[in-house]
Chain A
Amino acid sequence: MREVTYYPGCSLHGTAREYDESFRGVSKLLDVSLHELEDWTCCGSTSAHCSDEALSVALPVRNLRIAEKHNREMVVPCVACYSRFKAAEAGAKEHPEYLPSPYEAKVSVRYALDFFCDAAMIEKLKEKVVKPLTGLKVACYYGCLAVRPPELTGVKQYENPEHMDRLMEMLGAEAVPWSYKTDCCGASLVMTRTDIVVNLSQRILSMALEAGADCIVTGCTMCHANLDTRQAGLPAEGGRNAIPVLYFTEAMGLAMGHKETGKWLGRHVTDPIKALSDKGLL
């Protein structure tokens, strides 16, 4: 049993509820014991780093200091929170004056996708795949913050990442090659400049359809929300004008035969259940 601290962040307690449920579900099947960070607060997200640098360091560091009390690594499924934690680690080192007392960054912060792509976890996952996703073509969509900035994420192949593709292939799916893996969906502009987000998201959706994918797989709550909910008016491609968007943890749950997968997928706005049932996977 591997013990880790779990920082859910605000989205996983709200609109990304199925990401929280599926992350918890697959962690349990992989003998990972999650301890939710006690009394966590928001990482500050886009709004803090767009408003003030010191604030964007102080808010994540409050959580990191709590995490430091435990001798465990901290796993973060929301890539936007993860990015703020990594930026705050660097910011606290470069600008100690932003904080009332020094922060030494003793806790290891891991993005959930990277965590599950570790060799040891992959070995464990191999044993647990009972319903391989045979015949399912997936477009792995990493988005921005899972890979950029590379000096914070440590991802070497930041222009054409492949780790999620390999994870999906390990689950039995076919990861299609396409060139929009790390293009931006517009993220939090969805509230203020919805037109931009619809434009950017639909370009990504269209390219995934053109690449012949049955579904998109992602590990970002903002990307998921934008791609899942902004499909109205999407031009038809090969007779299809909609494409389901799964969290990678849902795909893992599906391949591991987690009994609640249907419940997680039922929370999506663009229905994934029909496409997966047609393939005999659900």
Chain B
Amino acid sequence: MIRQIQYGRREKVLTCGSIWICASCHTCSVRCPNDIDFAHVMDALRHIALRSGIGVGEPSIPVFHKAFLDSIKGTGRIHELSLILRYKLKTRDFLKDAGLGWQMFRRGKIKVLPQGFTGGKEVREIFNAYEKGATR
């Protein structure tokens, strides 16, 4: 990846699925003999890919991130059931993990209703800045 960046292969790097499959575990950063903070580099590559509107290699992953951020913008906190439904509506994959969801529901792990919160104005301002790209 680093070599591709050095060669300036912008499209190849930004459309590569690996930048989305990276789970940000930071193992590469702590073990790199050249002290490259590669986890941070991956973050930057994702940001550039999103902003450039280039077709991404693992489209479901940014779709999930968008659903996650929309959830925060809407209710301030992640209500897991709403997030899962929001994501599944976009991917149309309704049956995956349905059985597991039921098992977790039975054990009281799934909250049916989101909680109220009053910080909506501040959260909206944070997202307004993000959507306008005001801080970049």
Q: Which residues of A contact B26 (CB under 8 A)?
A: 144-145, 148-149
B26-64: CB near A (< 8 Å → 1, else 0) gives: 110110000001010001101100100000001011111
Nearest Cβ in chain A — how far from B125, in angstroms? 8
Measured in the bound complex, the distance between the Cα atoms of B47 and A191 in whole Å is 20
With beta carbons under 8 angstroms apart, the residue of A62, A144, A145 that contacts B126 is A62
- State whether the Cβ of A150 lies closer than 8 Å to any Cβ in chain B: yes
Evaluate whether A193 and B107 lie within 8 angstroms (CB atoms) in the complex, with A53-B47, A148-B26 already known. Answer: no
| Contact pick for A62, options B78, B109, B119, CB 8 Å | B119
Which residue of B has the minimal Cβ distance to A80?
Answer: B24
Q: Which of chain A's residues have a CB closer than 8 A to the CB of B63? A: 192
Contact indicator B30/A51 (Cβ below 8 Å): no
CB-based nearest B residue for A46 = B24
Residues of B within 8 A of A11 (CB): 78, 80
* B76–A51 CB distance below 8 A: no
Name the A residues within 8 Å of B115 (CB-CB). 13
Whole-angstrom CA separation of A55 from B135 in the bound complex: 9
- Per a CB cutoff under 8 Å, which of A15, A53, A55, A98 touches B109? A15
B64 adjacent to A192 (CB under 8 Å) = yes
Which A residue sits closest to B19, measured CB to CB? A50
Number of contacting residues on A, CB 8 A?
A: 53
Main secondary structure of the interface of B (DSSP, over half): helix
B77 touches A42 (CB 8 A): yes
Please state if A41 and B111 are interface contacts (CB–CB under 8 Å): no
Contact B47 A10 (CB under 8 A): no
A-B contact pairs, 25 of them (CB 8 A): A13-B111, A14-B80, A41-B72, A42-B78, A46-B68, A47-B66, A49-B43, A50-B43, A50-B61, A52-B50, A54-B130, A62-B126, A98-B135, A100-B125, A144-B23, A148-B30, A149-B39, A150-B30, A158-B30, A188-B23, A192-B61, A193-B21, A193-B60, A268-B107, A269-B104
Write the nearest CB–CB distance from A261 to chain B, whole angstroms: 15
Known interface pairs A53-B47, A62-B122; 13 further A-B residue pairs with C-beta atoms within 8 A, sorted by A's residue number:
A14-B111, A41-B77, A46-B65, A47-B65, A47-B69, A48-B69, A50-B62, A51-B62, A53-B43, A144-B23, A148-B26, A184-B23, A192-B61
B 75-123 contacts with A by CB, 8 A: 76-80, 84, 87, 96-97, 100, 103-104, 107-111, 115, 117-119, 122-123
Are the C-beta atoms of A42 and B76 separated by less than 8 Å?
yes
Task: State A44–B72 Cα separation when bound (angstroms).
Answer: 8
